[in-house]
């Protein structure tokens, strides 16, 4: 059997962020504290991207960073807060100032919008949101936020939401090979649908593995290479959030971030120190400090 040459899709973080144009829409992967593409958010800030629209269910610190730095001006999301710590102050300030518009959906509604985009159909039905202000009150989407219709088959009321096929899907995973076969450990959140809905898919991964490893355990591949356009291999991409089987969340850093973000001055201090004040992701990791990062490394069998 002849071995075809395998395409190497690896690029740097800076090259990946540079592909994003001002005004683009991004599916944003990860859920809650898990597999947040924080390093990508940092790089979008360093490259001074503007007017991005971000689509996700419930990202936390990354949404705070992109809102705070003025990178994103529109969010279509279900949730904004930092679980266990409290409100997302940057988003709250930007909404009050009118520099950020948030179109509110539910977690299931956003997951269905990604599924619809991945399936290449214009809308998806679901049984949430009906009877509440989530139907009646809209921002820039106006009538195109959602519609409540009578089912053409049963006549019952059903909510339909518009599918999404954003310019890029940004997804952070544990392992990838150079052609893009991506393995996710733990929960997948909405990343199965999300990774398939974007026009281009950028996969960030903690670890590079050989294709042979992928073919030894093909059931571990959550995103086959055929979907993937670019691969960025980078350690601690999710810090201060967590990456299952790789590292725990950095609660001290999270609390420091959350405390600083209470005021605009505090947020600007964080932004200057941890994002703009470093050359790249490696500079950020050096600033956080390797002794701390090593403490956060996951222990078997717990995965954190």
Single out the residue of 56, 55, 52, 44 nearest to residue 22, CA to CA.
52
Residue with Cβ nearer another protein (16 or 91) = 91
Assess 119 for contact with another protein (CB under 8 A).
no
* Cα end-to-end span (Å), the chain: 42
- CB 133, CB 145: distance < 8 Å: no
Least distance between another protein and beta carbon 91 (Å):
6
Assess 58 for contact with another protein (CB under 8 A).
yes
Of 5-13, 26-34, 160-168, 197-205, the segment contacting another protein by CB under 8 A is 26-34
Among 43, 64, 190, 250, binds another protein (CB under 8 A): 190
Per-residue x/- track, 139-178, another protein (CB under 8 A): ---------x-------xxx--------------------
Q: How far is CA 68 from CA 93, 130, 203, 304, in A?
A: 8, 32, 24, 29
Please state, as a whole number, how many other Cβ atoms lie within 10 Å of the Cβ of residue 47.
Answer: 13
Q: How many residues make contact with another protein (CB under 8 A)?
A: 62
Residue with Cβ nearer another protein (98 or 212) = 98
Q: How far is CA 257 from CA 12, 17, 248, 289, 291, in A?
A: 26, 23, 16, 16, 19
Assess 255 for contact with another protein (CB under 8 A).
no
Pick out residues in 81-110 that bind another protein (CB under 8 A). 81, 83-84, 87-88, 91-92, 95-96, 102, 104-109
Q: Is 61 helix (H, G, I), strand (E, B) or coil?
A: helix
Least distance between another protein and beta carbon 74 (Å):
14
Single out the residue of 296, 29, 267 nearest to residue 275, CA to CA.
267
Is the CA virtual torsion 195, 174, 80, 43 positive or negative? negative
Q: Rule CB under 8 A: which residues touch another protein?
A: 31-34, 57-58, 77-81, 83-84, 87-88, 91-92, 95-96, 102, 104-109, 111-112, 115, 126-134, 137, 148, 156-158, 186-193, 242, 244-245, 248-249, 251, 298, 301-304
């Amino acid at each position: 059997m002849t071995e075809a040459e395998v395409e190497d899709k690896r690029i740097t973080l800076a090259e990946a962020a540079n592909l994003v144009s001002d005004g683009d829409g991004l599916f944003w992967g990860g859920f809650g504290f898990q597999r947040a593409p924080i390093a990508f958010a940092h790089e979008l800030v360093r490259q001074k991207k503007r007017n991005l629209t971000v689509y996700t269910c419930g990202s936390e610190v990354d949404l705070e960073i992109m809102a705070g730095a003025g990178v994103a001006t529109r969010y279509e999301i279900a949730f904004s807060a930092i679980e266990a710590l409290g409100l997302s102050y940057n988003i709250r300030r930007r909404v009050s100032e009118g520099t950020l518009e948030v179109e509110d959906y539910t977690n299931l509604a956003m997951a269905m919008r990604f599924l619809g985009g991945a399936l290449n159909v214009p809308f998806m039905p679901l049984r949430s949101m009906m009877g509440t202000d989530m139907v009646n009150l809209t921002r820039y989407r106006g009538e195109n936020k959602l519609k409540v219709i009578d089912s053409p088959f049963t006549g019952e009321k059903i909510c339909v939401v518009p599918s999404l096929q954003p310019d890029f899907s940004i997804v952070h995973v544990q392992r990838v090979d150079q052609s893009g076969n991506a393995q996710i450990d733990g929960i997948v959140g909405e990343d199965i649908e999300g990774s398939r809905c974007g026009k281009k898919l950028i996969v960030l991964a903690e670890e590079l593995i050989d294709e042979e490893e992928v073919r030894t355990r093909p059931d571990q591949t959550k995103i086959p290479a055929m979907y993937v356009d670019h691969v960025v291999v980078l350690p601690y991409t999710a810090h201060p959030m967590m990456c299952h089987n790789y590292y725990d969340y950095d609660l001290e850093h999270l609390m420091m971030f959350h405390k600083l973000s209470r005021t605009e001055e505090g947020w600007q201090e964080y932004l200057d120190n941890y994002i703009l004040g470093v050359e790249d992701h490696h500079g950020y990791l050096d600033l956080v400090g390797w002794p701390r990062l090593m403490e956060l490394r996951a222990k078997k069998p717990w995965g954190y």
